[in-house]
Structure formats: C-alpha cells, structure tokens
C-alpha cells in the first residue's frame, strides 16, 4: 500500500511539472476544481470533526438531545463512543466487554470516511474482544496475540462506536457502565510494551461552548485554506491506488499537488479563475448531484441506499454527499437509513400538515436488531418539542390497529384518541422536515430492495 502510494505521488508531481504550462484554461479550472473539492471534502471534514472529538482515546456520550449540533442527523437509538487516532507513531488496541445480546458496533473509518472494519454484534458473539488498530507503518506482530488487527490505510483513523439504549434512565445507566469498559491501550510502533491503558470517560451530549460545528468549520475556510489543508492532509493520509487516474487528471487540469504546502503549481492563476462564492457553489453541487443520484432508487418518496454506502471506492460524489448529510454512515450490512423529505405523492413534508405511516401486519421492517424512526428539522437537527419525543423505536409500547398493522402519526399535536399517544412523532418545527428510518442489522429483503418502507400519506386533518 505504502509503496504504491509513493509511486502515485511521484507520478502526480512529475505530470504537474510536464503539463504545468498547459494550465491556462479558466473554464476547465472552474470545472475541475469542483471535482477536486468533491474529492477532498470528506478528508477536510474528517479533520474538522477530529478537531471536535476525543484524541488518542475514546469518549462516550450517553444523551443525545436537540442541543447537540456536533453532527447532523444524530441518532437516538444508540449511545456513541468515539475517538480519533493518529497512527503515524502509535498502534492501539480496543478491548470491549460482553454486551449481553445488546446491539453494538465499533466502526473504523479512514481519513476519507471509508469504513474499513466493523466488528459488532451482527458478526460476533456475546463475549469480550480485543481489536488491534495499526496504520500504514504499524506492525501487527507487536500487538497482543488475542487481538483481531485492522489496518487503516491512512494515519488518521476514527473509531465510531454505537451501543443500543432505549432512552430510559435505567437503560442509560446500564449502557454507561458498558461504555466505561471500552478500554484503549496505546503502543509504540515497534514495541509490545504498552504506553498507556485508558477506559472511556463519559461526557455530556453537548459540544464545548464556543466550538464550531465541523461542517461550518469547513465551509468557513477560504478556498485557498481549504485546498492547502487538503493537500497537506494527503501526506499522512495517502490516496488509494484506485484514485490515481483522478489525481492525474487534477494534476493536468489544475496543477494540483497532493502533500504540498501549496495545493497548486500556479495558485494565483487557479484562484483567479474561481468566483468568490466557490465554496457555496461546490457544496450546492455536491448536494444537488447527490439528490439526483438518489432519485434513481426512490421508493414511495423514500430514497433507499443499499449499495456502495460506507465504503465508496471511486464514487467520490456519493462519498461527498454522504459526508455532507451524515458523516460516518455505516455499511449497509450494519444499518440502512432511508430518509424521506417528501410524501409518496412527491410533496415536501411540511409542518403545516399531518401525516401517517402504516406498517402492515407481516410487513414490519425485516431486521435482526431493531428499527427506529426519527424526526429532523430542515437543518437536519432534532427540534425541541413539548412532548420531548424525537424518535420512535421498535421496542416502544405501541398501540396496534385491530387488523394488526401499526400506524405512526406525524403531526403537531398528540392524536385525539389517547390510546395512540405512543404512536405519535411530534412535528413542531417550522417548515419542511425529514423522517429517517433506521434499520439495524437489516435482513436480505432490505439489502436486495424487495422490502421498502411504507408510503408517508398526508392526512385530510390531524387524527
Ligand atoms: C465539467 O465538465 C464535464 C465534461 O467535461 C461535464 O460533464 C461536467 O458537468 C462539468 N462540471 C461542472 C461542474 O461544470
Ligand atoms: C483543525 O485544527 C487545526 C489546529 O487548530 C487547524 O489548523 C485546522 O484548520 C482545523 N481544521 C479544520 C478543517 O477546521
Ligand atoms: C444483537 O442485538 C440484537 C438486539 O439489539 C439482539 O436481538 C441479538 O440477539 C444480538 N445478537 C447477538 C449475537 O448478541
Ligand atoms: C487480550 O490480551 C490483553 C493483553 O494480555 C488483555 O489485556 C486483554 O484483556 C485480552 N482480551 C480479551 C478479550 O481477553
Ligand atoms: C428500556 O430498558 C430498560 C432497562 O434495560 C427496561 O427495563 C425497559 O423495559 C426498556 N423500555 C423500553 C420501552 O424498551
Ligand atoms: C453534565 O451536565 C450536567 C448538567 O447539565 C452537569 O451537572 C454535569 O456536571 C455535566 N457532566 C460533565 C461530565 O460535564
Ligand atoms: C456565484 O456567483 C455567480 C456570479 O456572481 C452567480 O452567477 C452564481 O449564481 C453564484 N452561485 C451561488 C451558488 O451563489
Ligand atoms: C408549507 O406549507 C405552508 C402552508 O401551507 C406553505 O406556505 C409553504 O409554502 C409550504 N412549504 C413547502 C416547502 O412546500
Ligand atoms: C389495517 O388497518 C389500518 C387502519 O386501521 C389501515 O390503514 C390498513 O390499511 C389496514 N390494513 C389492511 C391490509 O387492510
Ligand atoms: C381509541 O382507540 C382504541 C384502540 O383502537 C379504541 O378501542 C377506542 O374505541 C378508541 N376511542 C375512541 C374515542 O375512538
Ligand atoms: C415560521 O417561519 C416564518 C417564516 O420564516 C416566520 O414568519 C414565523 O414566525 C415562524 N413561526 C414560528 C412559530 O417559528
Ligand atoms: C430478496 O430477499 C428476500 C428474502 O431473502 C427473498 O425472498 C427475495 O426473493 C430476494 N429478492 C431478490 C430480487 O433477490
């Protein structure tokens, strides 16, 4: 991996030298710089996220509430346990306790937001495990023999753990105790003698005051700061071999140099071709192309992604749009998250209306773990509401219809028949909103697209 990547850098730099004089077409620069932004956006967003997250160890967050704007589309089904690791000089192990048939997953992401390992209760037994984490320079032989070792393709790695909790105080206490037993041990690259052993502290669900949400941190960079940051991040986080062709094109079109203090060979020329609103345009392009790619797999208003998510290969636009709307998305085998912004009839979901969603008897989500449905406001955050209810979960004490089906009511006020109060998902923001269904450990029928979510239907009036 290392040798191939060095080869790629050499090629990119030499092409830049040879073809540097050809870079004189502003239209081409304007066009290709959007592609380069799309390619590097997840990398820079990962750094911004790491700036806001535990380093060199894990931190657990038990509660997720509307005040948490650290990530968009935060889930309410699991507590998070996460941290960023720099593998340039160290290797690590993570030991997890027996979670006792409770859903859990430890997702390992590289600097480009690709998932490279996903141990969890889908594939493992109910017992303690030790996982090793090494970077491109690390050696598995120095880690304990009982460790299953994962190799990160980049020096930056993010462990993003999730442990099921049902939202009650009792359950949160159980999960707090479990998460404190996620233990990280740090090793030098070439020694089996640990430097430190740390269990996971539990923090509050809110970001430190004064901190900027990662997405805002990225979009507030100037175009030059953005591309220089991206290029520098590519030293320790070398692009995959499969990206070579794309990077050669960037070298040819833009004079782009990975792993360089200045991203472009002729920066003045490149920046003179870009409009002042370049970043806004690039982000809008990512969002628009993402929506367009979602349209192809739309079912009754629900876009369902079941392939390519989580590990993106060279599908850079999909990687960028997923980073934009939900950095850290799981592989489909672990969880599928259909998100609807429109009714089955194609009309935007709007807080001025009332909606129902009915799972027919025998057609409940086919999952091996559990499912949930969460309400997000137009900014993809939780919206404070008078009932303090933000999500409904498969384990909730719902009231079923007499024919065995289950209707969920999405409306501003509780259903007038109080028997159905547990089926109510409050919609009290202002304007449009999103409903996200989360399907954990989805069965084959979800992965092959034969099961799709039921249509969201606008009611004539609130129920
Ligand atoms: C860039 O050019 C290609 C064709 O060369 C075109 O398909 C693409 O839409 C253009 N992208 C932008 C952002 O203009
Ligand atoms: C992350 O923090 C470093 C150090 O403060 C800063 O230089 C860098 O610009 C930040 N990255 C982003 C993407 O905000
Ligand atoms: C994984 O978690 C789900 C519930 O969340 C449980 O039904 C299942 O038995 C667990 N599997 C294992 C192997 O523990
Ligand atoms: C694996 O070995 C290490 C070092 O001896 C130990 O600390 C850890 O608890 C072991 N892991 C498991 C799952 O037994
Ligand atoms: C939540 O978990 C607690 C403790 O594990 C359990 O007693 C309770 O019944 C659960 N409630 C729901 C609604 O799942
Ligand atoms: C979490 O917040 C509560 C109240 O908001 C506060 O009492 C507590 O000290 C905080 N804990 C930590 C670890 O910051
Ligand atoms: C960026 O500025 C150009 C020229 O002023 C304008 O045509 C374009 O609509 C703007 N794009 C965005 C996304 O604001
Ligand atoms: C939402 O509904 C209100 C009131 O009917 C309407 O004014 C508004 O245009 C709607 N918004 C969208 C995005 O459809
Ligand atoms: C079962 O009843 C609910 C409402 O009570 C209705 O929406 C649903 O379509 C019915 N299912 C079937 C299969 O008739
Ligand atoms: C409320 O719903 C329950 C359960 O379906 C039903 O038995 C009851 O008759 C309903 N009450 C009214 C006032 O409609
Ligand atoms: C909803 O948004 C409109 C337009 O932005 C604003 O005039 C109105 O006051 C808002 N209503 C509430 C309840 O926030
Ligand atoms: C999808 O999976 C389901 C459940 O295993 C199976 O019944 C169905 O035939 C499969 N459909 C396709 C198109 O493979």
Q: 282-326 pLDDT, tens per residue?
A: 999 999 988 776 655 667 778 777 777 899 999 999 999 999 988
Residue 407: the pLDDT is 97
Residues with CB under 6 A from ligand 9: 358, 360, 401, 403, 405, 407
Centre of ligand 1 to C-alpha 31, Å, is 6
Kindly provide the b/e burial profile for residues 420-443, where b requires at least 16 CB atoms within 10 angstroms of the residue's own CB.
Answer: beebbbbbbbeeebbbbbbbbbbe
Residue 69: the pLDDT is 72
Please give the sequence-ordered ranges of beta strands (E in DSSP) within 189-249, or none if there are none. 196-199, 202-203
Element at 26 (helix H, strand E): helix 26-50
Other beta carbons less than 10 A from residue 106's beta carbon: 24
**Beta carbons of 82 and 159 less than 8 angstroms apart:** yes
- Token pair, residue 458, equals 């606008």
Residue 9: the pLDDT is 36
- Token pair, residue 452, equals 């799709």
Residue 28 φ/ψ, nearest 5 degrees: -65, -40
Residue 70: the pLDDT is 67
- In angstroms, the CA 374 to CA 33 distance is 36
Residue 19: the pLDDT is 45
Q: Does the C-beta of 205 come closer than 6 Å to ligand 8?
A: no
DSSP category for residue 84:
E
Closest protein CA for atom 6 of ligand 8? 352
Q: How distant is the alpha carbon of residue 39 from its chain centre?
A: 16
Residue 252: the pLDDT is 95
DSSP category for residue 75:
-
- Token pair, residue 377, equals 């406001």
Residue 379: the pLDDT is 86
Residue 295: the pLDDT is 55
**Beta carbons of 251 and 15 less than 8 angstroms apart:** yes
Judged on CB neighbours under 10 Å (0-12, 13-18, 19+), 10 is exposed
- In angstroms, the CA 407 to CA 367 distance is 19
Nearest to 436 by CA among 384, 393, 372: 372
Q: Does the C-beta of 285 come closer than 6 Å to ligand 7?
A: no
Other beta carbons less than 10 A from residue 165's beta carbon: 25
Q: Which residues of the chain have pLDDT under 70?
A: 1-22, 63, 70, 204-211, 293-298
Give helix 26-50 / helix 316-326 axis angle, nearest 10°. 40
Q: Does the C-beta of 369 come closer than 6 Å to ligand 3?
A: yes
- What are the angstrom distances between the C-alpha of 4 and each of 63, 201, 228? 43, 39, 23
Closest protein CA for atom 11 of ligand 10? 417
- Residues in Cβ contact with 70 at an 8 Å cutoff, skipping those fewer than 6 apart: 52, 206, 207, 213, 214
Centre of ligand 7 to C-alpha 28, Å, is 17
For residue 170, give the 3-state DSSP assignment.
helix
- In angstroms, the CA 438 to CA 420 distance is 22
- In angstroms, the CA 18 to CA 245 distance is 16
Mutate to test the pocket of ligand 8, among 343, 347, 352 (most ligand atoms within 8 A of CB): 352
The ligand with the least distance to the CA atom of 216 is: 2
Give the residue ranges of DSSP H helices in 296-332.
316-326
Judged on CB neighbours under 10 Å (0-12, 13-18, 19+), 91 is buried
- Residues in Cβ contact with 352 at an 8 Å cutoff, skipping those fewer than 6 apart: none
Query: Phi-psi category of 58—alpha, beta or left, where left has phi over 0 and alpha has psi -120 to 50?
Result: beta
Kindly provide the b/e burial profile for residues 124-141, where b requires at least 16 CB atoms within 10 angstroms of the residue's own CB.
Answer: eeeeebbbbbbbbebeee
- In angstroms, the CA 356 to CA 401 distance is 13
Number of the ligand 9 atom closest to the C-alpha atom of 401: 5
């Amino acid at each position: 991996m290392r040798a191939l990547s060095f080869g790629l850098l050499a090629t990119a730099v030499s092409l830049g030298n040879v073809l540097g004089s050809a870079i004189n077409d502003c239209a081409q620069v304007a066009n290709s710089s959007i592609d380069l932004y799309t390619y590097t956006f997840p990398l820079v967003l990962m750094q911004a996220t790491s700036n806001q997250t535990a380093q060199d160890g894990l931190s657990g967050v038990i509660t997720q509430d509307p005040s948490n704007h650290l990530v968009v589309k935060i889930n309410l089904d699991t507590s998070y346990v996460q941290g960023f690791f720099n593998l340039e000089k160290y290797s690590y192990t993570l030991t997890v306790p027996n979670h006792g048939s409770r859903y859990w997953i430890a997702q390992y992401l590289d600097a480009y937001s690709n998932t490279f390992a996903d141990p969890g209760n889908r594939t493992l037994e109910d017992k303690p495990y030790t996982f090793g984490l090494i970077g491109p320079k690390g050696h598995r032989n120095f880690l304990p023999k009982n460790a299953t070792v994962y190799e990160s393709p980049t020096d930056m790695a993010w462990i993003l753990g999730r442990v099921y909790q049902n939202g009650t105080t009792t359950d949160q206490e159980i999960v707090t105790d479990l998460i404190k037993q996620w233990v990280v041990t740090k090793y030098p690259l070439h020694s089996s003698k640990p430097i430190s052993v740390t269990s996971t502290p539990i923090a509050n669900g809110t970001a430190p005051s004064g901190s900027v949400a990662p997405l805002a941190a990225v979009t507030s960079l100037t175009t030059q700061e953005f591309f220089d940051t991206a290029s520098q991040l590519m030293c320790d986080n070398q692009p995959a071999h499969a990206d070579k062709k794309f990077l050669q094109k960037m070298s040819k079109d833009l004079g782009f140099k990975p792993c360089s203090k200045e991203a472009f060979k002729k920066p003045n020329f490149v920046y003179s071709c870009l409009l002042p609103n370049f970043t806004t345009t690039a982000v809008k392009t990512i969002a628009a192309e993402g929506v367009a790619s979602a349209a192809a797999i739309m079912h009754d208003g629900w876009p369902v992604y079941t392939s390519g998510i989580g590990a993106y290969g060279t599908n850079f636009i999909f990687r960028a749009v997923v980073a934009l709307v939900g950095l850290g998305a799981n592989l489909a085998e672990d969880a599928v998250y259909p998100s609807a912004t429109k009714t089955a009839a194609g009309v935007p979901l709007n807080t001025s209306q009332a909606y129902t969603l009915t799972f027919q008897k025998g057609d409940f989500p086919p999952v091996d773990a559990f499912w949930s449905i969460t309400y997000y406001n137009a900014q993809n955050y939780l919206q404070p509401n008078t009932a303090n209810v933000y999500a409904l979960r498969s384990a909730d004490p719902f009231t079923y219809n007499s024919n065995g089906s289950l209707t969920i009511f999405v409306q501003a006020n509780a259903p007038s028949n109080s028997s159905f109060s547990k089926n109510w998902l409050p919609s009290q923001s202002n304007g449009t909103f999103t409903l996200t269904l989360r399907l954990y450990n989805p069965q084959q029928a979800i992965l092959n697209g034969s099961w799709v979510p039921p249509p969201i239907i606008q009611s004539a009036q609130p129920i």
